[in-house]
Structure 1
Amino acid sequence: MMPAHETYDVIVIGAGAGGMTAAAVAAAEGLRVLVIEKTAFVGGTAAWSHGMVWIPANAKMKEVGLSDSVADAVQYLSGTVPEPANAGLRAAFLARGPEAVAYLEANTEVRLQPVKTYPDYYPERLGATPGGRVLEPVAFDGTRLGAAFARLRPPLPEFTLLGGMMVNRLDIPHLRKAGKSLRSTLRAARLISEYALQRLRSPRGSTLHLGNALAARLYASLLSRRVEILFSADVEDLSMRGDRVSGVVIRHGSRDRPIAARRGVVLATGGFSHDAVLRKRLFPAAAGFASATNKSATGDGLRLAAKVSAALNTDATSPAYWVPASLFPRADGSRGVFPHMVTDRAKPGVIAVNAAGRRFVNEALSYHEFVLAMLRDGNGEPDRPFYLICDRAFLWAYGLGRIKPFTRGYRRYVASGELIAAPDLAELATKIGVKPSALTATIVNYNADAKEGRDGEFGRGSTVYQRHLGDISHKPNPCVAPILRAPFFAMRIHPADLGTAIGMKVDARARVLREDGTPIAGLHACGNDMGSIMNGNCPGPGIMLGPALTFGYIAGRHLAEGSVASMTSAADASA
């Protein structure tokens, strides 16, 4: 279906979290908005994510008895993002992030709630908080979208239960205790009963959580404001009127068509995680090509911006945000990528080893720091192998990768090559290509301390963040337990990205900049098309979605506040 009009006030390219935020804000301000999405779904990678939004000094912290200040956040960021690059953008983020949350809750369907206990990733640094800076989306009933529910990108199947049931982070402990605790058993029974009823009228569960709930709420906001969304369409070029971006040229089916934008265009196409050329140019060789992002993130926004002389922000300590990932075959023949973020690495009874069979990292560090350690250990060597190692007690209690806890039939994962099993450590070492003596020595040394709840080599479980990711019921250290009970298991993990940090240079109004620092009139960017304000550092959970929503909001407000007279003449002349 082609757009209903030849001219809009604002055109947004990309229907991820940042793009939909910009569109929702512009529409709430009374502008006519068109969103162009290259796939058949809204949500982008955000729809697969945990949906965490990092906004320091947000007003909702008071609801859970926590306090914060911009001064504390500045102090924390100065210790975790020490580079001067993008300091002005970080200041804009801290100043306007809480404003963005308040605006979205007052004018859209977005509803966020504070996560009381979710520490910053470097809790020992000055200005860190134990929680509250992280906001999560309130659960959403997908049936409110009506027929449009089918256009919301489904969550990854590996993060659902029973073929399509989403659960929130508070449900997970109860599901693990089902059958052991009456309260947990009743809660699990209620969740499953509700899901069964939902499946009578929907192809998947309609109680949405995490990033799927955030994407759904943004989508509902667009629908309520009658924002047009053009699916399965590619933007071929940006239209120019003098030195101003005045619209786009789209390819929809076999037709090219110009569409004018009176006020401007917002680039929000999701970065370049799946562009092989840009990855080879900008990523370290040891990173390989695994990505936990949506496959539509192929650098479209960067290429469009380059045509109008936009500057690329390469001032990043890391070109991406990293996560260790295991790879597996799906039933349809595609390759699945499972990001090992919080479900297994920090739990007691698993370690990570390198190609020599030795530990190389504190497994309970943030996913980003974990992969930085992989890249350092790999010393630039492509496809260097790394493994998570555990025993049967761990696999049963916590699962591993996409293998869920209490899984009896693990042999199918062995048959697919995803999981490696052996009756003893020597055979496991042989199967993963390391010296049996090396792996055995690693386990023996680890176990000697682990039996007393210590990790003498890396200090695992030494911070509140690490303990938060562990198993609080395991004493004395929620992150440490010996590896003792055969059979033993290994799962190969790879460096993968959660999103790119290199993107276009923008100013505090989300306007795309040229190399000389001047803004390109009529062109804005947000999300991963915009260079990371954290310079590739990862200070806390939600540090991609927090800036994405904030700068999407800033872009939408700036486009609405601009002078209509100064913005429309060129667009009207070409419409």
Structure 2
Amino acid sequence: MKVLTDRLPDDTAFDVVVVGAGGAGLAAALFAAIGGAKVLLVEHTAVVGGTTALSAGTTWVPGTTHATEVPGNDTVERAAGYLDRTVGRQSPKAMRAALLANGPAAVAHIEANSSVAWRACAKHPDYLSEVEGSTLAGRALEPLPFDGRLLGELFPLVRPPIPEFTVLGGMMVDRTDINHLLSITRSWQSFRHATRLLLRHGLDRLSHPRGTRLVMGNALVARFLHSLSARPNVTLALSTSVDALHREGGRIAAVTLAQGGRRHRVDVARAVVLASGGFNRHPQRRAELLPGADPAWCPGAPGHTGAAQDLALAAGARLGTTDAAHAFWAPVSLRQRPDGTTAVFPHFVMDRAKPGMVTVDRTGRRFVNESTSYHRFGLAMRADAPQRVPAFLVCDADALRRYGLGMVRPGGKGLAPFLADGYLTEGRSLDELAGKLRIDPEGLKATVAAMNGHAAAGLDPEFGRGSTDYERHMGDASLGGANPNLGPIATAPFYAVRLVPGDIGAATGLVTDDRARVLGDDDGPIPGLYACGNDMQSVMGGVYPGPGITIGPGLVFAYIAARDALGAAPAPASPTFHEVTP
């Protein structure tokens, strides 16, 4: 692979041009390169990985051989029914059929021809686990850890993870690592695991600005980059944008690249694939589709400007519609870093669903099942934003020590900086905490009293917290309580962080057909133009049925786009689909 960091390519023609080097764009470039195409991968920023690099990297693809590695009941047919029941009319069933028909082949093909590799987690439930057709494991694939040292001089090109998701100055950890670190003094196995991590990180820091043991989304991106680096038919142009799409003879036949005031035309023989990350940082479209959502609340990568979508719209494309949501959401908390930037921390796993935690609005009352998926949590906040933004995630001293709270690590130590800058609020009593938060103290006390009663009974009659397999997985069964998501909030002092709804990815994008071809106003494809990832209208239609439902479809439709552009037919849609309105 040829890497261009400060100049435009000398070549004037490529078979395939991919716009955007996030997860979907890297996949599209790699699939096209594996197919023998001469590929140009164009990235607007100076690094690769997009939001995928900042994420857990989970890849939702039903029916792969990895599903047989874990106990479960995953099949493509069951997944088809599950998507019918959860997504239903929010997306065309032909798109869902294409996803499921091509998913296993996409994973098998890339694993056989590159260093990209996944494993199935022993337990990683679909988010709507109460719906028929869901699974507890097998569909959510986790990228294997990767040794960043194998990238050599390319290692700095991988977008670093969110700093607050690392420890000890850049050491990446996943769920398994966190559990071992928390048990370092209680288990010989955990002590050995944690010691290996710490020694490796110490050695890394002698020669690297951060740890080179990559996990989650960083591992997936690094595996893509490593695989592309071995292919001489790929050119990666960084800090470069596509300034124009040229439609000639009815098809997209060329692009104009721009970098630092310079422009360069490139002819395209086969396809332009748009995978630039979606509209989340597009000023006008964001205001139209996500009213009231401050751009500072978005934890996504900075390159998601929607500029590539604008070019497609000018060429005759159109945006999709949905009755569900234009973006995917998560509760996030904000803190200013010493360098003046803002840390945006998504509350995915570690705190809100655990015993001893409760989320309230300005009245001190609950408004959501705290153990539901982060997307549903975010939607609940936006449903009554004046009352629920910010919301307040409240816990007692025992829960803070056990699970941490947002950017505050478990253990209950080192709280002073968080208290000093206002990220964390502490009260010796619930009345004092409510006063500092400026919420109704009577409402908060009544809510906590009710939660303590729910914890004793093991049932949440208000919102059903802990009533599904997914929710119970998010809890803590090790405490031995009647409900792994419920526990008393009783040990002073009490703590809280403020939550706002952050958009973590676009659901609304360019309308495509089941071959990933961008469609025009007449419902016909625009020849030579494809879209995948968050540039494409989500196959989930704004619904969030499972972990990795952006990265998984991004991978599969990248595979479909590359095959179609190079003349290989996609797999036939074998599952039988039934229209079910959710």
- When the two structures are superposed, what TM-score results if normalisation uses the length of structure 1? 0.95
Counterpart CA distance in 2 for 1:423 and 1:411 is 15
Q: Which residue of 2 aligns with 1:567?
A: none
- Of 365, 368, 388, the match for 1:361: 368
Instruction: Describe the SS at the equivalent of 1:259.
Output: strand
2:244 is the alignment partner of 1:243? no
Q: Which residue of 2 aligns with 1:44?
A: 50
2:388 is the alignment partner of 1:347? no
Counterpart CA distance in 2 for 1:249 and 1:22 is 20
Report the Cα offset of residue 46 of structure 1.
0.2
Report the Cα offset of residue 459 of structure 1.
2.1
Q: Which residue of 2 aligns with 1:85?
A: 91
Structure 1 residues 100-133: Cα deviation after superposition (integer angstroms, max 9, x where no partner): 0001101122101111211111111111111111
- Of 315, 321, 327, the match for 1:314: 321
Report the Cα offset of residue 382 of structure 1.
8.8
Please show how residues 266-415 of structure 1 align to structure 2 within 5 Å. 266-285=273-292, 290-378=297-385, 381=386, 384-415=389-420
2:81 is the alignment partner of 1:97? no
Structure 1 residues 79-119: Cα deviation after superposition (integer angstroms, max 9, x where no partner): 11121632111110010011100011011221011112111
Instruction: Describe the SS at the equivalent of 2:116.
Output: coil
8 Å Cα contact 2:115/2:224 also seen in 1: yes
Report the Cα offset of residue 164 of structure 1.
0.9
Counterpart CA distance in 2 for 1:446 and 1:382 is 21
2:514 is the alignment partner of 1:523? no
Query: Identity over the aligned pairs, expressed in percent?
Result: 46
Query: One-letter code of the match for 1:199?
Result: R
Larger deviation, residues 381-390 vs 459-468: 381-390
Structure 1 residues 211-245: Cα deviation after superposition (integer angstroms, max 9, x where no partner): 00000011111111131111101211112212211
Counterpart CA distance in 2 for 1:121 and 1:287 is 26
Report the Cα offset of residue 205 of structure 1.
0.9
2:260 is the alignment partner of 1:264? no
From the superposition, tell whether residues 217 and 316 of structure 1 become closer, same or farther in structure 2 (CA, over 3 Å).
farther
Counterpart CA distance in 1 for 2:567 and 2:213 is 37
8 Å Cα contact 2:125/2:136 also seen in 1: yes
8 Å Cα contact 2:397/2:412 also seen in 1: no
Report the Cα offset of residue 288 of structure 1.
6.9
8 Å Cα contact 2:90/2:541 also seen in 1: no
8 Å Cα contact 2:164/2:343 also seen in 1: no
- Of 55, 58, 64, the match for 2:64: 58
Instruction: Describe the SS at the equivalent of 1:451.
Output: helix
Counterpart CA distance in 2 for 1:16 and 1:431 is 41
Structure 1 residues 327-367: Cα deviation after superposition (integer angstroms, max 9, x where no partner): 11012101111000111111111100012110111100000
Please show how residues 189-204 of structure 1 align to structure 2 within 5 Å. 189-204=195-210
8 Å Cα contact 1:41/1:152 also seen in 2: yes
Q: Which residue of 2 aligns with 1:21?
A: 27
Report the Cα offset of residue 562 of structure 1.
6.8
Counterpart CA distance in 1 for 2:466 and 2:410 is 22
Q: Which residue of 1 aligns with 2:515?
A: 509
Q: Which residue of 2 aligns with 1:569?
A: none
8 Å Cα contact 1:360/1:377 also seen in 2: no
2:411 is the alignment partner of 1:427? no
Instruction: Describe the SS at the equivalent of 1:322.
Output: strand
- Of 94, 108, 119, the match for 2:114: 108
Report the Cα offset of residue 447 of structure 1.
1.1
Instruction: Describe the SS at the equivalent of 1:503.
Output: coil
Please show how residues 413-452 of structure 1 align to structure 2 within 5 Å. 413-452=418-457
Report the Cα offset of residue 473 of structure 1.
0.4
- Of 230, 240, 248, the match for 1:224: 230
Report the Cα offset of residue 246 of structure 1.
1.0
Counterpart CA distance in 1 for 2:158 and 2:147 is 12
Report the Cα offset of residue 182 of structure 1.
2.2
8 Å Cα contact 1:316/1:502 also seen in 2: no
Instruction: Describe the SS at the equivalent of 1:24.
Output: helix
Instruction: Describe the SS at the equivalent of 1:324.
Output: strand
From the superposition, tell whether residues 67 and 441 of structure 1 become closer, same or farther in structure 2 (CA, over 3 Å).
closer
Q: Which residue of 2 aligns with 1:553?
A: 559
8 Å Cα contact 2:274/2:531 also seen in 1: yes
Report the Cα offset of residue 532 of structure 1.
0.5
Q: What count of residue pairs does the alignment treat as equivalent?
A: 561
Instruction: Describe the SS at the equivalent of 1:460.
Output: coil
Q: Which residue of 1 aligns with 2:213?
A: 207
Q: Which residue of 2 aligns with 1:454?
A: 459
Instruction: Describe the SS at the equivalent of 2:172.
Output: coil
Please tell me the root mean square deviation across aligned C-alpha atoms, in Å.
1.5
Counterpart CA distance in 2 for 1:19 and 1:384 is 34
Structure 1 residues 403-430: Cα deviation after superposition (integer angstroms, max 9, x where no partner): 1111412121111111111111111111
8 Å Cα contact 2:14/2:267 also seen in 1: yes
8 Å Cα contact 2:277/2:306 also seen in 1: yes
Structure 1 residues 152-176: Cα deviation after superposition (integer angstroms, max 9, x where no partner): 1111111111111112222221111
Counterpart CA distance in 1 for 2:423 and 2:164 is 14
Counterpart CA distance in 1 for 2:387 and 2:283 is 15
8 Å Cα contact 1:113/1:137 also seen in 2: yes
Query: One-letter code of the match for 1:46?
Result: T
From the superposition, tell whether residues 43 and 306 of structure 1 become closer, same or farther in structure 2 (CA, over 3 Å).
same
8 Å Cα contact 1:272/1:299 also seen in 2: yes
Gaps of 5+ in 1: 564-575
- Of 32, 40, 59, the match for 2:38: 32
Report the Cα offset of residue 454 of structure 1.
3.1
Query: One-letter code of the match for 1:127?
Result: G
Query: One-letter code of the match for 1:259?
Result: V
From the superposition, tell whether residues 149 and 289 of structure 1 become closer, same or farther in structure 2 (CA, over 3 Å).
closer
Please show how residues 172-183 of structure 1 align to structure 2 within 5 Å. 172-183=178-189
8 Å Cα contact 2:126/2:547 also seen in 1: yes
8 Å Cα contact 1:453/1:475 also seen in 2: no
Larger deviation, residues 118-127 vs 284-293: 284-293
Report the Cα offset of residue 253 of structure 1.
1.3
Report the Cα offset of residue 383 of structure 1.
7.8
Structure 1 residues 42-61: Cα deviation after superposition (integer angstroms, max 9, x where no partner): 10000010010111111211
Larger deviation, residues 285-294 vs 4-13: 285-294
Counterpart CA distance in 1 for 2:384 and 2:418 is 28
8 Å Cα contact 1:352/1:386 also seen in 2: yes
Counterpart CA distance in 1 for 2:460 and 2:110 is 45
Report the Cα offset of residue 549 of structure 1.
0.3
8 Å Cα contact 2:8/2:264 also seen in 1: no
Instruction: Describe the SS at the equivalent of 1:448.
Output: helix
Counterpart CA distance in 2 for 1:411 and 1:71 is 53
8 Å Cα contact 1:351/1:390 also seen in 2: yes
Counterpart CA distance in 2 for 1:562 and 1:167 is 40
Structure 1 residues 436-458: Cα deviation after superposition (integer angstroms, max 9, x where no partner): 11111111111122134332322
From the superposition, tell whether residues 309 and 212 of structure 1 become closer, same or farther in structure 2 (CA, over 3 Å).
same
Query: One-letter code of the match for 2:526?
Result: I
From the superposition, tell whether residues 260 and 407 of structure 1 become closer, same or farther in structure 2 (CA, over 3 Å).
farther
